[in-house]
Structure 1
Amino acid sequence: MLTEIACKAATCPDDRPRVRFTDAGGLYLEVTPNGAKRWFWKYRFDAKEKRLSLGSYPAVKLKAARLARDDARRLQSQGSDPVQRRKIDKATARINSGTTYQKVAIEFHAIKVKEWSAAHFTKWIRLQEANLFPWIGPLPIADITAPLLLETLRRVEARGRNETAHSLRQYAGQVFRYGMATGRCTQDPAHALRGALQAVIVKHMAAVLEPKQAGELLRAIDAYQGHPTTREALILSALLFQRPGNIRQMEWAWVDLDGAMLTIPAAAMKRTVQGKRTGKPHLVPLAPQAVASLQRMHTLSGSGRYVFPSLLTGERPMSDNTVNAALRRMGYTNSEMTAHGFRAMARTILGEHLETDPEVIEAQLAHGKSGPLGMAYDRTTYMAQRRKMMNEWADYLDKLRKGADVIALRA
């Protein structure tokens, strides 16, 4: 039988690879010439001699080694192989360490790098890190319940961020469904929270929607005393009613003045990553008034890349706040008109006062077809109708600008 003093004094001669100091019940201390000391338990299982490592001395004292031996012997008496049981326990620990909500979320996020846009990819993980990881991140994903997730999302609601809470519920649902697919949880508690969060009050972009008000806006643009580039950006925002980003980032390479056509590449459109890569460009017919505006801009920026370059450097497009700032200078508050409001103005007046076919308007707005198969089977471009509509729209704006009597036209 070993003693603590004997364990401490045990050594191995330099001419031997190792020396074993035997205790009882198959327990022994193995010592090597470099002074390393390790506990082992020798036993038999399925008629084979095996040994189980119980740790190093002096980190594991003699008493602790004996207790570990006794635990292993109990497993053996129950028909389990202690070495195999240890392998299973280690594997289980490795699996459990990879099943926290945070680790599953990070794993799911990584596989979406080629599918999501860079902006969404960044936003998704940023919101998780700020709002979910601090509370449910360290928990095993299988242990997270709907009430626990709801309590976490209520913290976001308490800050007045209802829309963020709804986004986080959606993001969490993606993580739980991925966890179910990979066998790390069996349910999606985010699905159970449908209807449990506070409603999001949708605020539409401020816009001028009546012809009389549109005429006042157009006259204000005519009288604008700011930079000529900004004035032309306002004019084309009204004439083309494209997304503000497509207006300010417009490149001369997209413009065909002779053919009276603006071709916005698929990569510059508001689409999915797949749509940006393989989708068709968006075509915008140019009315004579739009061509005239672009010709005026060509004298100012035609030698550069962008139609509306930054006033600080021509290497970047106009700032995303330039048009909105110009509207503020013209006396329009943020609740009255915005850069995005030109789209709503055109959509409303074209539909209600010019009675234009809604499908033609939607095509020009670059809105996707409704329904899951809309884009797959409806490839109509309405190009002839769109060119006619853009010319009629430009002429109608001229009448509004002049303050003439406005009579609704039949499409």
Structure 2
Amino acid sequence: MPLNDRQIKAAKPSNTGKKVKLFDGNSLYLEITPAGGKIFRMRYRMNGKDKDFTIGKYPAVSLVEARQATENARRMIAQGQDPTKAKQEAKAAQQAALLNTFEHLAKQWHEDNLPRWKEHHAERIMRYLKNDVFPVIGEIPVNEIKVTHIKTLLDSVMARGVTDTADKIRGWIGAIFDYSAMLEISENNPARLLKNHIPNLPTKHKPALPREELPEFYRRLILANNIERQNKIAIMLIMLVFVRNNELRGGQWQEVDFKNKRWIIPAERMKHEKMKPKPALCVPLSDWAIELLQELHTLTGHSRFMFPSRTNVNRHISENTLGKIINEKLGYKGKATPHGFRAVASSLLYENNFNGGAIETQLAHVEEDKTKDSYAYMAEYMPQRIEFMQWYSDYLRERYNQALQMIQKDKAD
């Protein structure tokens, strides 16, 4: 006699501790465990062996659903398919799909890259993935992600007016798909097809301080009591040696050769996210640069970094430190930037007829073939570079002395 819901709800486990079976017909039965659990199973024969196919637990699986599952299983058996094996394979495929979701692979890619990334860079990538990427494609298996999925995601980021961020996100998604291909999980990289979807950003030229304003700039810097001496020296040095901001703030004492008056910035620190690899750079140090570095060493020589963070001597100052000082504490927002001092130096050196090749070499504007021979590149035009680095230092020191005279005059008045 077929089962009904009332019978199933009223069914109790056996007092003997054995399983109880209540049969519905067509090989479907309800198994009641000693603990009181109720499970629908189907008895069938496959390849000469009796087997039990587990359909599911009651009441999560209703009696009607169990009967339908039994019919489906009987059709599979008639076609020579084992329903138990098919269910196991489907479960394995489901588990594999969970492991191959974009979020799972992205986190695996991120973890594998942690040793070669700086902490703040790794944190920034994961922050953008969690905020902008995972909510859209995180739960989708990588093989099922289409170009339209990524295009929609990038469009929503660009709608916030941060096109550069959208481009970074596209690059990270592409790197994750390449990682997936390396693991032989996927073959296509839909992010690569969207390379031209994000419009090119217009080149933004960094504001460069007009040279006639240099004395006033120095005057403000000298008088600023709210700027630590370490950071004042950082600004004076970036003006003197006109390296890039990341090259200066990441400077390490082991790179400075006081005896030979030079600073060797290694090739691994000359790299930048959007730049091709560059060779090491030799920075000839003027007399004034040496004086400033010697003073700085008394302040920060306890750290391996020339410009350590205030909160952690094992980390250097952030990429925004000098820019914020120039903008907010010195009042030059929109008028001067750390990078802009490179343009000040370049234009002045060209105007005074110094060798163009030497200037470009010192600015680390490297031709692609120059990266092949780092040592030869470091020594290229060295006499001319030593000459104009001292000349430029003297030029700036004269403006610095003018600032001191301005301060003395103000005091006298």
Alignment TM-score, normalising by the size of structure 2: 0.76
Q: Distance in 1 between matches of 2:23 and 2:330?
A: 95
Q: Is the 8 A contact 2:42 2:54 kept in 1?
A: yes
- The 5 A counterparts of 1:89-100 are 89-100=90-101
Q: Distance in 2 between matches of 1:94 and 1:312?
A: 45
When the two chains are superposed, the root-mean-square deviation of aligned CA atoms in Å is 3.9
Q: Is the 8 A contact 2:326 2:336 kept in 1?
A: no
Q: Distance in 1 between matches of 2:262 and 2:366?
A: 21
- Local SS of the residue matching 1:75: helix
Q: Distance in 1 between matches of 2:395 and 2:325?
A: 26
Q: What one-letter code is carried by the residue in structure 2 that aligns with 1:292?
A: E
By how many angstroms is 1:88 displaced?
A: 1.3
Q: Which residue pairs with 2:3 in the alignment?
A: 3
Q: Whose helix proportion is higher, 1 or 2? A: 2
Is the counterpart of residue 389 in structure 1 residue 390 in structure 2? no
Q: Which residue pairs with 1:407 in the alignment?
A: none
Q: Distance in 2 between matches of 1:247 and 1:3?
A: 81
Q: What one-letter code is carried by the residue in structure 2 that aligns with 1:135?
A: V
Q: What one-letter code is carried by the residue in structure 1 that aligns with 2:71?
A: D
Q: Which residue pairs with 1:178 in the alignment?
A: 179
Q: Is the 8 A contact 1:301 1:309 kept in 2?
A: no
Q: Is the 8 A contact 1:232 1:293 kept in 2?
A: yes
Q: Is the 8 A contact 1:72 1:82 kept in 2?
A: yes
Q: Distance in 1 between matches of 2:178 and 2:7?
A: 58
Alignment TM-score, normalising by the size of structure 1: 0.76
By how many angstroms is 1:84 displaced?
A: 0.9
By how many angstroms is 1:312 displaced?
A: 10
- Please identify, of 380-389 and 236-245, the stretch whose mean Cα deviation from structure 2 is larger: 380-389
Q: What one-letter code is carried by the residue in structure 2 that aligns with 1:221?
A: Y
1:165-224 CA-partner distances (Å, limit 9, x unpaired): 11122222223333444455453222222322233122122224xxxx436415742674
Q: Which residue pairs with 1:336 in the alignment?
A: 335
- Local SS of the residue matching 1:35: coil
Q: What one-letter code is carried by the residue in structure 1 that aligns with 2:14?
A: C
Q: Distance in 1 between matches of 2:64 and 2:95?
A: 29
Q: Which residue pairs with 2:411 in the alignment?
A: none
Q: Which residue pairs with 1:375 in the alignment?
A: 371
Tell me the number of residue pairs that the alignment of Structure 1 and Structure 2 aligns.
Answer: 387
By how many angstroms is 1:130 displaced?
A: 1.9
Mark the CA change 1:185 to 1:297 in structure 2 (over 3 Å): closer, same or farther. Answer: closer
Q: Distance in 1 between matches of 2:266 and 2:50?
A: 72
Q: Is the 8 A contact 2:362 2:385 kept in 1?
A: no
By how many angstroms is 1:122 displaced?
A: 2.0
Mark the CA change 1:13 to 1:365 in structure 2 (over 3 Å): closer, same or farther. Answer: same
Q: Distance in 2 between matches of 1:336 and 1:292?
A: 28
Q: What one-letter code is carried by the residue in structure 2 that aligns with 1:107?
A: Q
- The 5 A counterparts of 1:400-411 are 402=398
Mark the CA change 1:163 to 1:70 in structure 2 (over 3 Å): closer, same or farther. Answer: same
By how many angstroms is 1:97 displaced?
A: 2.8
- Please identify, of 303-312 and 64-73, the stretch whose mean Cα deviation from structure 2 is larger: 303-312
- Please identify, of 66-75 and 89-98, the stretch whose mean Cα deviation from structure 2 is larger: 89-98
Q: Which residue pairs with 1:191 in the alignment?
A: 192
- The 5 A counterparts of 1:218-297 are 220-221=217-218, 224-226=222-224, 231-247=232-248, 254-264=255-265, 269-271=269-271, 283-295=282-294, 297=296
Q: Is the 8 A contact 2:39 2:56 kept in 1?
A: yes
Q: Is the 8 A contact 2:361 2:380 kept in 1?
A: no
Mark the CA change 1:310 to 1:162 in structure 2 (over 3 Å): closer, same or farther. Answer: closer
Q: Which residue pairs with 1:129 in the alignment?
A: 130
Q: Is the 8 A contact 1:44 1:50 kept in 2?
A: yes
Which structure 1 residue ranges, 5 or more long, are not aligned? 274-278, 404-411
1:293-314 CA-partner distances (Å, limit 9, x unpaired): 334556x637754766789999
Which structure 2 residue ranges, 5 or more long, are not aligned? 400-413
Q: Distance in 2 between matches of 1:394 and 1:356?
A: 14
- Local SS of the residue matching 2:388: helix
Identity %: 28
Q: Which residue pairs with 1:398 in the alignment?
A: 394
